[in-house]
Amino acid sequence: MFEDIIDEIRRLFKKSSGFIPLHEPRFQGNESKYVVDAITSTFVSSVGQYVDQFEDRIAKYTGARFAIATVNGTAALHIALILAGVKKDELVITQSLSFIATCNAISYIGADPLFIDIDKQTLGMSSVSLSDFLESKTEIKDNNCYHIPSGKRIAACVPMHTFGHPVDLEKITELCKVHKIPLVEDAAESIGSRYKGKHTGTFGLLGTISLNGNKTITSGGGGAILTDDEYLAKLGKHLTTQSKIPHRWEFDHDMIGYNYRMPNINAALACAQLEQLDSFVESKRRLSEKYNCFFKDYPILFMQEPKDSYSNYWLNAIILSDKSERDAFLEYSNDQLVMTRPVWRLMHKIKMFSNSYCEDMSSSEWVSERLVNIPSSVIL
Ligand SMILES: *Cc1c(COP(=O)(O)O)cnc(C)c1O
């Protein structure tokens, strides 16, 4: 069976030998042109027309009223959490099955993650587990939500759209509203993914995306904060640019700021990649459809987009029958130079977060023992 899978992957990627990566970038459009233009202009750093253009275009593309370009997705999350009002020693609800950046951003503020289980259909935060938790362990006082066991304020809820598949946004948005918790979507992996026709990252108070080298489109390093709130958008831009008060020559700053603005040279790359995003997503969806047909003949579950959603299928994922089969497949495929990876170690099992509050994790544990990501690059 493993041999059939490797043959199929090699056939799909038209590569009968040699290394097949999990996800590699594609530069087939205006990348060189725009990057050379940025260099020629001498504006390669934090000021320049491409940064502004990227913000306009990503806002238009996602339907957010405002976008703030950042150096990477982790920085975007850090600032989004500050904008949502998260403070030291408060709690931020998130999922244990995520890339570490989500928890790191929470930690930069001195806040702590609180882990909710995932839904096996979406691989993202379970609205059922979230609801159970909020009903049984929290209370609302003065328009804020508090965690009863610790007495701490729950300052934000950060679901993550795993591998590009949207979480159950309708229920999660509603739960956050009822329980007075700002929703911040970690849409790092889901650029191009929609839920009921609306782009991920635009449902909550704030959303963040990433343009890291391994994501669907890349600017080398880069990210963005999305919001419809004009005040937060202005404050976000201020915080990411060292909180400098605009003046023709004076240097004055009114709060602790961050050097988080996306450089213009990266934004040049981002603008070129954004022009190709729709065709990349279409290609990735064609690939996932082929994988889906193939795996129907095997006792392996291929992860498909959840209902009501349109997924970018950033990373394709299969579910094997148990951990030993997963390990055997990882070993076999990587030996065959076909890159495959297990999911990230669950956050509640990472040393720094092992003491964080953690609800039942049975679906997260189940998935983490069985899931393998298989090659998912855009095929042109
Ligand atoms: C990639 C990623 C990030 C952060 O992105 P960077 O641009 O690499 O900083 C955050 N959260 C998740 C879930 C990611 O996959």
Nearest to 177 by CA among 127, 129, 224, 227: 127
Q: What pLDDT, on a 0 to 100 scale, did the predictor assign at position 46?
A: 84
Same domain, 220 and 306: no
For 358, other C-beta atoms within 10 Å of its C-beta total: 19
Q: What band does 183 get if pLDDT is binned at 50, 70 and 90?
A: very high
Continuous H helices in 141-276:
169-178, 230-240, 264-274
**Whole-number mean pLDDT of the chain?**
97
**Centroid of ligand 1 to alpha carbon of 297 (angstroms):** 34
Percent of the chain with pLDDT over 70: 100
23-37 confidence digits (pLDDT tens): 999 999 999 999 999
Minimum CA distance residue for ligand 1 atom 6: 73
Atom of ligand 1 nearest to the CA of 105: 10
**Domain finish residue from 226, 245, 276:** 276
In a domain, 379, yes or no: no
pLDDT in the model for residue 251: 94
Residue 140 lies in a domain: yes
- 326, 222, 316: which is closest to 22 by C-alpha? 316
Average pLDDT of the segment spanning 100-107: 98
The share of the chain scoring above pLDDT 90, in percent, equals 98
Whether pLDDT at 380 is above 90: no
- State whether residue 145 is helix, strand or coil: strand
Give the active site residue among 15, 171, 177, 215: 215
One domain, residues 235 and 313: no
Ligand 1 atom with minimal separation from the 102 CA: 11
Q: Is 101 in the pocket of ligand 1 (CB under 6 A)?
A: yes
- Overall average pLDDT of the 284-290 stretch: 98
Is 290 catalytic? The answer is no
- Sign of the C-alpha dihedral, residues 366, 177, 87, 215? positive
Considering the domain architecture, whether residues 128 and 226 belong to the same structural domain is answered as: yes
| Separation between Cα atoms, residue 364 and residue 334, nearest integer Å | 24
Give yes or no for residue 189 CB within 6 A of ligand 1.
yes
Q: Please name the helix (run of DSSP H) or strand (run of DSSP E) that holds residue 129, with its range, or none.
A: helix 127-137
C-alpha separations of 165 from 77, 201, 205, 311, 350 in Å:
19, 12, 20, 5, 24
CATH number at residue 17: 3.90.1150.10
Q: Tell me, in angstroms, the distance from the centre of ligand 1 to residue 160's CA.
A: 10
Residue 352 lies in a domain: no
> For tokens 């979480």, what's the residue?
167
What tokens appear for 374 in the block?
């298989």
Query: Which residue's CA is minimally distant from atom 10 of ligand 1?
Result: 101
188 lines ligand 1 (CB under 6 A): yes
The tens digit of pLDDT for each residue in 155-168 reads 999 999 999 999 99
pLDDT average, residue stretch 77-106: 98
Cα dist from 279 to 239, 310, 312, 341, whole Å: 34, 14, 11, 25
- Classify residue 380: in a domain, yes or no: no
Q: Give yes or no: residues 68 and 197 share one domain.
A: yes
The protein residue whose alpha carbon is closest to atom 2 in ligand 1 is 188
pLDDT at 116: 98
Q: At which residue do the structure tokens 């594609």 appear?
A: 26
Predicted confidence band of residue 101 (pLDDT cuts 50, 70, 90): very high
Q: Which residue, 241, 276, 311, sits at the end of a domain?
A: 276
Are 361 and 253 in a shared domain?
no
**6 and 45 fall within a common domain:** no
Confirm or reject: Cβ of 208 under 6 Å from ligand 1: no
Instruction: Please indicate, yes or no, whether residues 94 and 50 belong to a single structural domain of this protein.
Output: yes
Q: Residue 173 has which token pair?
A: 């948005």
Confidence bin at 47 (pLDDT 50/70/90)? confident
Q: Cβ of 171: how many Cβ atoms within 10 Å?
A: 16
Dist CA 246 CA 123 (whole Å): 44
In this predicted structure, what is the pLDDT of residue 302? 98
Give the tens place of pLDDT for each residue, 229-255: 999 999 999 999 999 999 999 999 999
Pairing of strands 144-147, 138-141: antiparallel
User: Do 156 and 303 have their domain in common?
Assistant: no
All residues at 6 or more sequence positions from 84 whose CB lies less than 8 Å from its CB, including other chains: 155, 156, 182, 184, 205, 206
Rg (CA), the chain: 21
Domain span at 66: 31-276
Q: What is the mean pLDDT of residues 12-22?
A: 97
Per the structure, the count of domains in the chain is: 2
- From the CB of 367, is ligand 1 less than 6 Å away? no
- Does residue 255 share a domain with residue 150? yes
Taking residues 127-156, what's their average pLDDT?
Answer: 98
